[in-house]
Amino acid sequence: MTAVTGFDTFDVRFPTSRSLDGSDAMNPSPDYAAAYLVVRSEDESRSGHAFVFTIGRGNDVELAAIRALEPFVVGRDLDGILDDLGGLWRRLVGDSHLRWLGPEKGVMHMAIGAVVNAFWDLAAKRAGLPLWRLLAGMSPEELLELVDLRYLTDALCRDEALELLSAGQDGKQARIAELEAHGYPAYTTSPGWLGYSDERLTALLEAAVKDGFPQVKLKVGADLDDDRRRLRLAREVVGGGIDIAVDANQVWEVAQAIGWVRELAGFDLAWVEEPTSPDDVLGTAAIRRAIAPVRVACGEHVANRVIFKQLLQAGAIDVMQVDACRVAGVNENLANLLLAAKFGVPVCPHAGGVGLCEVVQHLAFFDYAALSGSSEGRMVEWIDHLHEHFVSPASVVAGRYLAPKAPGTSAEMLASSIAEFAYPSGPSWSGPLATFGGA
C-alpha cells in the first residue's frame, strides 16, 4: 500500500491589479490567485495537484480550509481512495461538522473541490490519461457511482441519469477521435476587460478575429454610455460574422438588468452573463423572461448543484457555465453536466483567472465525448493569460482548444512560478505594492 502522507499548500498570487487584467464592474482590481494544494504520498513520484482560484485577499483563508481536510485522508491508502472517488466526495461533503460551515457553499465547499480534484489528478496520472479521457473511458455505471444525486431527485432521478450516460456512449469513440484531431470550440474574453482603453480593446478584438474565435465577450454594467460605445466599437471591429456576448458580473438589480439589457439589445448580444446575484434563481428567471430573445448565461458563482437545478427548473438560463473551482470538484460538476443534459441546456464552461482554462477544458471535452455528444452552441471561455505558469498549459489554436494529452487534470503549476509568486514572500511581491489595500 502507498499511504497519503500529507498536504503541501501554497499561497500563490499574481499582481494582476497592476495592469487591470481581469477588471469588471464588480471586480475592479483583482490579484488572480491560487490556493494551491499538493497531495503527497509515500511514493514520491505520485503527487496530486489542484487549487482554488481566488482574486487575492482571502486566499489564505481558502488554504486554511484546505488544510482542515488533511486529516480525512492522511495515512489512508492512496489507491483505495482513487478506486472510490465518489466515496471520497461523500465523506468530505457529508462530514456534518464541516457541512455546518456551508452547507455546500463558499470557502469550505471550494476547499473540498480542491482536495477532490487533487485526487482526480492522481487518478488520471495513475491511468496515464488526461482527465477527460479517463472520464470518457468509464462506463455509465462507473460514472454514476461518482455522482451524488442528493437534493436533485425531483429533477433528475438515478434512472434518468443512467439513461443520459448510456446515450452518451453512442458514437463516443468517433467523438474522442474528432476531439483529438480538431479540438473543441473556444471564445475569448481577453479583449473585454472594463479597465482597458478603447485602443487596447480594438487591438485585442482585431487579434481575436485574426485568431479565428467565433465569439468574443465584453464586460458591461458600470456605465451605460460606455457600454454602448464599446459595443458599437466592437461590432465595427469584428463585423457581423462573430458573436458578441456581454457579462455584467452580478452588478444589477432585477429591474435594472431588464432596463439596461433592453438598451443594449440592438447590438445583437449572444448572451447576457450574470445579470444579478448568482443566488437569485427567481430574479434571473424574471430577467430572462423580460429580455427574451436575448439569452442568459450563469454559473461561475453558482455555489452548488442545488442552485443549478433550480436555475434549470425555473427556466432561468439558456447557457450553463460550470466552473472548475466553485463547486466541490469533478464529481459535482458531473452532476451539473447531467442536469444540463436533462434540461437540454448547453454547457459553456467559465474559464480565465489563473488555471481555470487548464482544468475546466477537461469537463467540456468529456461532455462532448460521452454525455451531450453535441458541440452545438457550446464552447469554452478562453483568456490568453498566465498559462505559462503551468506544466501542461491549455492551448487554443484557430479558435479551438487543443485536446489535452498529458496525464492528469492539467492543474500542475511550475515550481518556479509557485516560488516567484508566493505571497507575501516571493520576489513578485517584494516591491512597494505588496501590502494590503490593493482595493
350 is catalytic: yes
| Residues 215-254, mask of contacts with a copy of itself (x by CB under 8 A) | -----------------------------------x--xx
* 318 φ, ψ (degrees, to nearest 5): -95, -20
By C-beta, is 304 or 372 nearer to a copy of itself?
A: 304
Cell numbers linked to 138: 468509464
Which stretch of DSSP H or E encloses residue 161? Answer: helix 158-167
* Site membership for a copy of itself, residue 255 (CB under 8 A): yes
The least distance separating a copy of itself from the CB of residue 150, rounded to whole angstroms, comes to: 7
Of the residues 219, 362, 385, 387, only one is catalytic, namely 219
* Site membership for a copy of itself, residue 90 (CB under 8 A): no
Within 13-32, the residues that bind a copy of itself by CB under 8 A are: 26-31
* Residue of 77, 79, 95, 180 interacting with a copy of itself (CB under 8 A): 95
362 is catalytic: no
The Cα–Cα gap between 186 and 397 comes to: 9
HSE-up of residue 15 (Cα within 13 Å, Cβ side): 19
By C-beta, is 237 or 287 nearer to a copy of itself?
A: 287
The Cα–Cα gap between 382 and 275 comes to: 20
* Site membership for a copy of itself, residue 55 (CB under 8 A): yes
Angle separating helix axes 329-343 and 356-370, nearest 10 degrees = 50
The three-class DSSP label of residue 243 is strand
Query: Between the CA atoms of 164, 333, 299 and 316, what dihedral angle is there, to the nearest 10 degrees?
Result: 30
Residue 329 identity: G
Q: Per CB under 8 A, which region of 146-154, 235-243, 259-267, 401-409 contacts a copy of itself?
A: 146-154
Which stretch of DSSP H or E encloses residue 4? Answer: strand 4-13
| Residues 279-298, mask of contacts with a copy of itself (x by CB under 8 A) | xxxxx--x------------
- 39-67 residues labelled b (16+ CB within 10 A) or e (exposed): bbbeeeebbbbbbbbbbbeebeebbebbe
By C-beta, is 432 or 436 nearer to a copy of itself?
A: 436
* Site membership for a copy of itself, residue 150 (CB under 8 A): yes
* Residue of 11, 21, 104, 367 interacting with a copy of itself (CB under 8 A): 104
Cell numbers linked to 50: 489542484
Interface ranges with a copy of itself (CB under 8 A): 26-31, 54-58, 60-62, 64-65, 68, 71, 95-110, 150-151, 153-154, 250, 253-255, 276-283, 286, 301, 303-304, 306-307, 309-310, 313-314, 436-439
Annotated catalytic sites, by residue? Answer: 219, 350
